[in-house]
Amino acid sequence: MAARLQRATQAQITRLVAEGRLLGSSAPEPAGSLRLQFAPLFADAIHADITSLEPAFAVEILFLVAAPERAREIDEKLLTVLQSVSTMEGIAYYSETRGRMRTLFHESYLIAEPGDRRPLPDPVAASLPARETLYAYQRDSSFGRNVLELTYTATDEGIRLRMRNLTRMHYQGVLPVVAPQSLEIDLVVVPAEGHLLFYGVAAARPVALFGLEERIERSFANRIEALYLWFLDQVS
């Protein structure tokens, strides 16, 4: 396990084994970089991509769970699960603003290109491509209608999904909060010693934080957890 978590401390790894999750957040250092600690694979690429956003914050979570049978090895079936964007529709997350569970995506499906709104069926992967890009349309309960670029990177050790917004995101459909190409969420799935490491990080360069930094970070952490539970449901 420690070999997969070279940036984490031994105390953090011990807590991960005991509690099943690690949560961390960071703000840019003087040089403009962010310190990410928990990525079990693709760490350098994730750090470079997120740093390029010049984000105001990053929040990361690492989950450790006994690997469901369908998630014990990296294969085309596991990639197919991560590409089943339509199954994200209706998943719930805990809303920090409302203090209750709430639907995350009212609509979620793949599209052929950013300007197209016609839904495509979820693909069935026939191989593990080194890199593949898809596009998705989602109607988010907080940020309205958005188009995302989904980039998948796969090796025989793990799969990374990078999600970036291509459209301006508005809070409650009114307040502009994130410009295009200013939000990134990464998910990484790595089977390890009969367990599954599921890592998520969210970073953004908002138009303004309005003094809500801590609430925004918790909100994105809750979104990553919702995506983790979605993934577990698909492979269980």
pLDDT given for residue 173 in this prediction: 65
Residue 229 CB burial class (10 angstroms; 0-12, 13-18, ≥19): middle
User: Does residue 223 register a pLDDT over 60?
Assistant: yes
Cross-strand partners of 125 = none
122, 87 Cβ separation under 8 angstroms: yes
- pLDDT tens-digit profile of 42-75? 999 999 999 999 998 899 999 999 999 999 999 9
CATH code given to domain 2-235? 3.30.530.20
Would you tell me how many other CB atoms lie within 10 Å of the CB of residue 36? 21
Chain CA centroid to CA 81, Å? 14
pLDDT at 96: 82
Long-range contacts of 40-44 (CB under 8 A, 24+ apart): 40/4, 40/5, 40/158, 40/188, 40/190, 40/192, 40/197, 40/199, 41/4, 41/155, 41/157, 41/158, 41/160, 41/188, 41/190, 42/153, 42/158, 42/160, 42/186, 42/188, 43/6, 43/7
Contacts of 205 (CB under 8 A, 6+ apart): 53, 54, 55, 56, 178, 179, 182, 183
Is the per-residue pLDDT at 211 higher than 60? no
Are 143 and 169 spatial neighbours (Cβ–Cβ below 8 Å)? yes
Query: Residue 152: what pLDDT?
Result: 98
Q: What is the mean pLDDT of residues 24-50?
A: 87
* Residues 154 and 168 sit within 8 Å (Cβ to Cβ): no
Residue type, 114: P
- Beta bridge partners of residue 178, listed in sequence order: 169, 206
Assigned token pair, 120? 């495509």
Query: Residue range 108-137: average pLDDT?
Result: 97
Q: What percent of the chain has pLDDT over 70?
A: 94
The ranges assigned to domains in the chain are 2-235
Residue 225, φ and ψ in degrees, nearest 5? -60, -40
